[in-house]
Amino acid sequence: MSFIEEARPPEDWHGDGILCALLDNPSIEQLVLKAKQPVVDISMSRIDIHLPRVVADNRQIGREAAQHLLQHNHEHFAWFCFRTDPVGKSRLAGFEEAIGHSVHNLTSRRSNLRQAVVNKLRKLSRPCAIFAKTDVDAAWILNVCIEEGFRIPDDFAIIGVDNNPLICDFLPAPLSSVNHDLEQLGYQAACLLQRLISGEDAPTEAIMIKPNGVTPRASTDSFAVSDDIVRNALIYMKERLHQAVGVSEIADAIGVSRRTLELHMSEVLDQSVHQKLMDLRLNQAERLLRYTSDTAEHIAAFTGFCHAQHLSKVFKKRFGEPPLRYRKRHRQTSI
């Protein structure tokens, strides 16, 4: 078994199988097409070539990004990538599917890419949430926004994909990112290749590896509402999900009457304070169920429910099934 690098096909190689990311490299393409050994591709770049594949569930990556931004009350959205390819198209499709409509496309083929993107940014309604194909794309546009005097995340909230700490943690505004589960992808690709070497039939469809949630950072750490009372209330609630806070306590903390808070919340979000607080708690509980192994009791305590039975009752009403059944159905499973 050997891993073939994109630009260096091995000479006189004799192995048991090939694990590759088939990109636009003619020499690698010819090697793969002529190979008598089993091949597993971990890329979507050459879907015109029929091969067994283990790839990211890119539509779900787009949905995860959208859900994160929607939970921060964004209403205006945009997309950016340097290169349009099948991966980007799938991620954008999933993003728009979750949003419910098409979004502004900041991608440009002009020679002066930066100026073309800046011109588009200036025309967007703000606050606006930007989903970028990768952390590299997101880092570029985040720096452009800052250089042009836009505020992150108040004018533009930005989210990437890959959760690369060398990028995300060292930007002027640390970058939120969808956790593309590369470790699981590589593991399942190796397992599939081993099965093919052992003589098993290749799967007829690509094996999709789901993302592992979103790692939130400063680039999206803001609620997209212009009303200061509602904004302050949302921030207060988000920071205290694990506490049993009530409407009166929230109102006192931000310096307004309970009635004033309820009126503003109803006018801006069409929800009561209690309804919004419950949304925040349930969204956090749902993320913990999908992406951690925490017990129902721990999740209930961490999200402000008095006990696991209370969480189960409210969760089932919202999501249609009890928490542990939901976890079993949505958690990434071994293939």
User: Mind listing the pLDDT tens digit for each residue in 27-52?
Assistant: 777 777 777 889 999 988 888 888 99
Please give the Cα distance from 91 to 88 (Å, whole number): 5
Quick one: which of 111, 112, 126, 118 has its CA closest to 147? 118
Do 99 and 43 lie in a common domain? Answer: no
Is residue 305 in a domain?
A: yes
- Work out the average pLDDT over 103-122: 91
Query: CATH no. for residue 125?
Result: 3.40.50.2300
What pLDDT sits at residue 147? 96
Are 174 and 272 in a shared domain? no
Mean pLDDT of 152-179: 94
pLDDT band at residue 3 using 50, 70 and 90 as cut-offs? very low
Contact 175, 142 (CB under 8 A): yes
Let me know whether 52 and 197 are in one domain: yes
Q: Which domain holds residue 93?
A: 58-180+214-220
SS3 per-residue string spanning 35-58: CCCCEEECCCCCCCCCCCEEEECH
Q: Give the model's pLDDT for residue 10.
A: 65
Instruction: Assess whether pLDDT exceeds 50 at residue 5.
Output: no
Q: How confident is the model at residue 9 (pLDDT cuts 50, 70, 90)?
A: low
How many distinct structural domains can be found in the chain? Answer: 3
Task: Supply the pTM of this predicted model.
Answer: 0.78
Q: Is residue 39 part of a domain?
A: yes
Rounded CA gap, 323 and 314, in Å? 10
Structure confidence at residue 6 as a pLDDT band (50, 70, 90): very low
- 73-90 confidence digits (pLDDT tens): 899 999 999 988 899 999
Q: What is the pLDDT of residue 66?
A: 97
pLDDT at 21: 86
pLDDT tens figures, 196-255 = 999 999 999 999 999 988 999 999 988 888 788 998 999 899 888 888 888 999 999 999
Does residue 269 surpass a pLDDT of 90?
A: no
Q: How many CA atoms lie within 13 A of 242 on its CB side?
A: 7
256 falls within a domain: yes
**Stretch 150-179: mean pLDDT, rounded?**
94
- Whether the per-residue pLDDT at 68 is higher than 50: the answer is yes
121 & 145 share domain: yes
Does residue 23 fall inside a structural domain? yes
Provide the pLDDT confidence category of residue 331 given band limits of 50, 70 and 90: low
pLDDT at residue 292, as a whole number: 85
- Write out the two tokens for 236: 């207060």
**Average pLDDT of the chain, as a whole number:** 89
Please tell me whether residues 116 and 169 are part of one structural domain: yes
Contact 38, 193 (CB under 8 A): yes
> Does the pLDDT value for residue 285 go beyond 80?
yes
pLDDT score for 248: 93
Decide if 331 is inside a domain: no
Does a structural domain hold residue 93?
yes
Q: Select the more confidently predicted residue: 109 or 187.
A: 187
